[in-house]
């Protein structure tokens, strides 16, 4: 079997994570996988699968500790790979390809928790018939399990919470966003409560309705508008004065 002999050589010599090759005899692929669920990576399983024309003909599973063939010819090939130094490389694979890279990825200590950064923001101001929308966002926490809820004057709000989206940040951390539709009343206190393993008690974040972002903007615009008015008035006055002075000084 010249193809298989060629393949064996090829496989032993190349160690990329995912290999694809085409030959006259078909389409070849190799796929390495690391499977685990325990935070300390102790249950890591390394799987190295070899495909030819989408048929998985040999697989190395670190739990099994040797190659297994899935057709008559592949069983023979697996036997020869199990006698070769390739088996030693593969047995080390669970550390080399899985645990070590995972450990070296900049991750939070997986036994520890990371406190969320919480932000309260006004998504939509109340106006006419539509209610105000507040959003409580928690960022960069670990692990994923979290609870975000709302209080109005210390009492839980349930019916008004519209949506909660929890998602992976893609770098081991998580984020969550909870939106609250509510009709503001003067003198009330709206708070967001975040419960997470990194806190020893539920954390309460009060919404400061007295100065919302858009109000701040309006005040800023108002102030600059006023300043502009004063400058224009002053310029006008100066111009008028000059003009009148000029009139006075220019003899007729």
Ligand X SMILES: *[C@@H]1O[C@H](CO)[C@@H](O)[C@H](O)[C@H]1NC(C)=O
Q: From the list 79, 109, 153, 213, which residue makes contact with ligand X (rule: CB under 6 A)?
A: 109
Instruction: Give the range of 59-67, 153-161, 188-196, 236-244 binding ligand X by CB under 6 A.
Output: 59-67
3 state DSSP class of 116:
coil
**Does the protein bind ligand X through residue 43 (CB under 6 A)?**
no
Select 31 or 133, whichever has its Cβ closest to ligand X: 31
**Does the protein bind ligand X through residue 23 (CB under 6 A)?**
no
Q: From the list 37, 85, 104, 111, which residue makes contact with ligand X (rule: CB under 6 A)?
A: 111
Select 44 or 134, whichever has its Cβ closest to ligand X: 44
What's the burial of 88, exposed, middle or buried (CB within 10 Å: 0-12/13-18/19+)?
exposed
Tokens 């030819």 label which residue? 52
**Does the protein bind ligand X through residue 63 (CB under 6 A)?**
yes
Q: From the list 61, 71, 107, 113, which residue makes contact with ligand X (rule: CB under 6 A)?
A: 61
Token pair listed for 169? 């940040």
- SS3 for 55-96 is EEEEEEECCCCEEEECCHHHHHHHHHHHHCHHHHHHHHHHHH
3 state DSSP class of 203:
strand
Query: What phi, psi does 187 have (nearest 5°)?
Result: 85, 0
**Does the protein bind ligand X through residue 206 (CB under 6 A)?**
no
**Does the protein bind ligand X through residue 47 (CB under 6 A)?**
yes
Q: Which residues bind ligand X (CB under 6 A)?
A: 40, 45, 47, 61, 63-64, 109, 111
């Amino acid at each position: 079997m010249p193809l298989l002999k060629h393949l064996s050589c090829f496989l032993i010599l190349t160690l990329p994570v995912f290999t694809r090759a085409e030959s006259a005899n078909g389409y070849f692929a190799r796929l390495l996988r690391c499977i685990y669920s325990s935070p300390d990576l102790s249950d890591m399983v390394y799987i190295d699968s070899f495909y030819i024309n989408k048929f998985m003909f040999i697989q190395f599973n670190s739990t099994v500790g040797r190659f297994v063939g899935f057709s008559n010819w592949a069983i023979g090939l697996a036997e020869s790979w199990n006698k070769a130094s390739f088996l030693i490389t593969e047995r080390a694979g669970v550390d080399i390809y899985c645990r070590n890279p995972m450990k070296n990825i900049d991750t939070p200590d997986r036994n520890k928790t990371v406190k969320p950064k919480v932000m309260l923001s006004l998504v939509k101001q109340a106006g006419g018939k539509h209610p105000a929308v507040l959003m409580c966002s928690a960022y960069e926490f670990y692990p994923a399990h979290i609870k975000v809820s709302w209080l109005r004057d210390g009492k839980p709000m349930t019916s008004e919470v519209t949506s909660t989206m929890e998602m992976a940040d893609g770098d081991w951390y998580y984020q969550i966003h909870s939106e609250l539709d509510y009709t503001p009343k003067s003198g009330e206190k709206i708070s967001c409560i975040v419960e997470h393993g990194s806190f020893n008690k539920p954390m309460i974040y009060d919404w400061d309705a007295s100065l919302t972002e858009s109000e701040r903007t309006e005040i800023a615009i108002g102030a600059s508008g006023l300043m502009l008015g004063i400058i224009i008035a002053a310029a006008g006055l100066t111009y008028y004065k000059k003009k009148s002075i000029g009139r006075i000084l220019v003899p007729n």
